[in-house]
Amino acid sequence: MFRITVFSTFLFAMICCGCSNDNTRYKEWNDYGGGPDHSKYVDYQEFTKDNVDQLEVAFVYPTDDNVNYRFNPVIVDGVMYVLAKNNSLVAIDAVTGKELWIHANLRGIIQRGVNFWQSKDKKEKRLLICLNNTLQAIDANTGKSITTFGNGGYVDLKQGLDRDPATFGRATSTTPGKVFEDLILLGSAPGENLFSGPGHLRAYNVITGELVWVFHTIPHPGEYGYDTWPEEAYKYVGGTNTWGEISVDADRGIAYFPIGSPTYDYDGADRPGSNLFGNCILALDARTGKRLWHFQTVHHDIWDYDLTAAPQLITVNHDGKKIDAVAIASKHGFLFVFDRVSGEPLWPIEERPVPASDMPDEQAWPTQPFPTVVPPFNRQIVTVDDINPYFSQEDKTKWTARVAAAKNGLFQPLSASYEIVTNPGAVGGANFGNTAADPQKGIVYVQTQELADFYSLKKREPAPPRSAGGFGGGRNPVVSPERLAQGKVLYAQHCQTCHGENRAGINGLGTTLVNLSTRVNTEAFKGIMAVGKGRMPGFPHLTETEIADIYAYLTPEAQRGPGNQGGEADLPEGPVVASGGVPVDLPSLGGRMSDYPSEYTGPRVEYVETNNWGLGVPNLLTPPWSLIVAYDLNEGKIKWKIPLGNDDSIPGSSDLSMPNGSQGKGMVVTSTGLLFSTCLDGRVYAYDTDDGRILWSTDLGRNNPGGLPAMYEVDGKQYLVVCSVGSLKDKSKDEAGVPKGYIVYALPKKGN
């Protein structure tokens, strides 16, 4: 294992190699987000502005279950890899949908995608998956687990984080990471509570599973950035992780990581300083983990303004020169643009004074970075004039009074003595899957979310040590009456508004949770609660025990003693070659640090946020609530912007877009001037990249298509695939009569 050297440097070879103009890299969708650069861009010629309105369904591969997937398919050599059939990994013929193999019952597999790797002679092919807290490898040719990988077939991701694994719960990645050469680059999603695990960045060998390098995002003594924290911070601060989307400049061997905020998110009393590398775009040598450069988009974050959306790698004309650049969109509505080799901003970024905190021991950073040329893609202030005009008069009065009483504006610190209202809130701006690019034209596309919210602080209650008894190695824990009662309280607080007091669901808000254990096991439930699903946001602030308690309350049918929660795993119909991945007998996911290390004598986090991580009012503002914004970064200007979708529940409306759901949208950009986008309203749209005009749309019949769409070509024929497994839009229709699964579109065969 290599500890990185952290001098800010870059190699002459990196400067000179440039970005290849060879479009062969855009001929396959062989990676999450399309390819190494995560541009979601393809160079295919069949779909054009003139014929896109002729697209029709070529075939549907049904998922045959009730799981709400958010999966981005990977397509290589005419084979598509998808998640279906109760969390089974399935290989299908990408032209016909015929099943080639099924690896069943991968309970706890991350829902967003997988990584693909192949040897130079293309004979050996592997799929790298994150399953619960492990990294595993599956033979892409046969579908069987590779037991020579790691320790008997898996790598324990809780190991190697420089803390006792019993003191934190999650270490898995919620996005697939990135494959570069013979390495898989991984972040993690350790949670957002006080004392969550640290967010080390790691690279593993795809053949052996050996850890090749690690980068400490909370620096250890002697490392760059250590002086931006208290001396013992690396022992107790958590987060500062990449749970978002990694991009790689494959020519130069540079990986770009979007880094999240330190924990605890809203009270930084125990971490005075700017807190590098929190909230940074971080450029590392992909082969060694060596830091090349970084830029911190939020200093000492106390607003949960993680970076999650994929950095976009583009080439622009800037001051008369061709510049290879990188652009990253933030949760707080800014697009930051840099020379991707040197890290120098293409346009000035000013440090501007921001309000101070009135909280004891909180040392809010006095300035924050503001781009001066590239305009923001979100509104960044909320006034009484911004209240949703479609509210009832009663709601208008209520929200107007609350906005008028709150402190307003970007970077207004939270307080226990007043409430703040901010836009974007912590789940607004740009998030998973919300960026794409035309790399060679210098155009970046951002799907935005205008999600404002209210925040305040309250005194926290000390958390007791958590012993084993949360989610374990697949066994059903003994759940006490006290914990079931706590689960009921937590359900009422976080879930009941959408899913109803009786768990039957509320039309238009949440689906039924009755008999949940027959559809979703403990590990899948844990993942859904961490990062959200469809319209539902994530609840990363909930602890493992709290999530386990909610699941126990929701699944009385499963509380029957030993065994897998939800019953024993059944094998689906079809060519099943394996089930369950490599058997892993790991201990329970662990307890929780209940206090600071004994040697720590500084200020402590004494307050917590009161408004459920800013998940309260998705439609507070005037519409549009979501946009696609096209940036021309040759000039640093917005080229066009349009509302994304429409809320049909508002009579007579059009182009209002949809509130909430930013994590469920995705795009594909083509070399023929098309931009495809999914939307919460259950439609797929094709836009003209010149001006944003809608050239085609189709109604999927189901709400909120999950995951990123993908595009591929087989034998010269082009296909678009969308995962559509949400609830029925028209409840009067027969469930079986509306396609549910991976819907593949193509142009009609010639002669038809």
Residue 447: pLDDT band with limits 50, 70, 90: very high
For 246-273, the three-class secondary structure string (H helix, E strand, C coil) is CEEECCCCEEEEECCCEECCCCCCCCCC
pLDDT at position 535: 55
Residue 550 confidence (pLDDT): 86
CA-based torsion, 640, 310, 261, 259: positive or negative: negative
Across the chain, what does the average pLDDT equal? 87
Residue 41 has pLDDT above 80, yes or no: yes
Which value, in Å, is the radius of gyration of the alpha carbons in the chain? 24
* 644-654 b/e (C-beta count within 10 Å ≥ 16 → b): bbbbeeeeeee
Distance CA 325, CA 39 (A): 13
In the predicted model, what is the mean pLDDT of residues 484-513? 69
Of 170-174, 251-255, 409-413, 657-661, minimum mean pLDDT range: 657-661
Which of these, 307, 403, 409, lies nearest to 353 by C-alpha position?
Answer: 409
For residue 395, count CB atoms less than 10 angstroms from its CB and return exposed for 0-12, middle for 13-18, buried for 19 or more. middle
DSSP state for residue 356 in the 8-state scheme: P
What percent of the chain has a predicted confidence (pLDDT) above 90? 66
713 compared with 598, residue with greater pLDDT: 713
Strands 576-579 and 99-104: parallel
Question: Per mean pLDDT, which of 163-167, 391-395, 519-523 is the most reliable?
Answer: 391-395
> b/e string for 510-540 if b means 16 or more Cβ within 10 A?
bbbbbbbbebbbbbbbbbbbbbbbbbbbbbb
- Answer whether 154's CB lies under 8 Å from 147's CB: no
Tokens linked to 504: 């039957």
What was the pLDDT predicted at 48?
99
The closest alpha carbon to 472, from 402, 544, 520, belongs to: 544
- Average pLDDT of the segment spanning 242-268: 97
Given this model, what pLDDT does residue 334 score?
98
- Residue 552 pLDDT level (bands cut at 50, 70, 90): confident
Query: 744 has which bridge partners?
Result: 59, 721
pLDDT at 378 over 90: yes
> What is the C-alpha separation between 424 and 309, in angstroms, rounded?
15
Q: What is the pLDDT of residue 193?
A: 81
Whole-number pLDDT of residue 510: 61
pLDDT in tens, 48-75: 999 999 999 999 999 999 888 899 999 9
Domain ranges, ordered by start, for the chain: 2-458+608-746
Backbone angles phi, psi at 491, to 5 degrees: -60, -45
pLDDT at 7 over 50: no
pLDDT of residue 15: 45
User: What's the pLDDT band for 468 if we cut at 50, 70, 90?
Assistant: very low
pLDDT given at position 142: 98
Segments of 354-464 assigned E as strands: 367-371, 407-408, 420-422, 435-438, 443-447, 453-455, 457-459
> What integer is the mean pLDDT of 251-272?
97
Report pTM: 0.88
Percent of the chain whose pLDDT exceeds 70: 82
- Distance between CA 207 and CA 696 in Å, rounded? 44
Q: Is the pLDDT score of 530 beyond 90?
A: no
**pLDDT on residue 533:** 57
Q: Indicate whether 504 pLDDT > 70.
A: no
Among 249-253, 421-425, 442-446, 565-569, name the one with the lowest average pLDDT: 565-569
- pLDDT confidence bin for 282, thresholds 50/70/90: very high
- pLDDT, greater one: 617 or 57: 57
Q: How would you classify the pairing of strands 407-408 and 420-422?
A: parallel
Looking at CATH, the fold of the domain delimited by 2-458+608-746 is given as Methanol Dehydrogenase; Chain A (2.140.10)
Query: Tell me, what's the pLDDT at 680?
Result: 86
pLDDT value for 476: 40
Of 348-357, 418-427, 739-748, the range with the lowest mean pLDDT is 418-427
| Per-residue pLDDT at 486 | 73
Please tell me the total number of residues recorded for the chain in this structure. Answer: 752
Look at residue 100 in the predicted model and tell me its pLDDT: 99
Q: Which of 378-387, 389-398, 593-602 has the lowest mean pLDDT?
A: 593-602
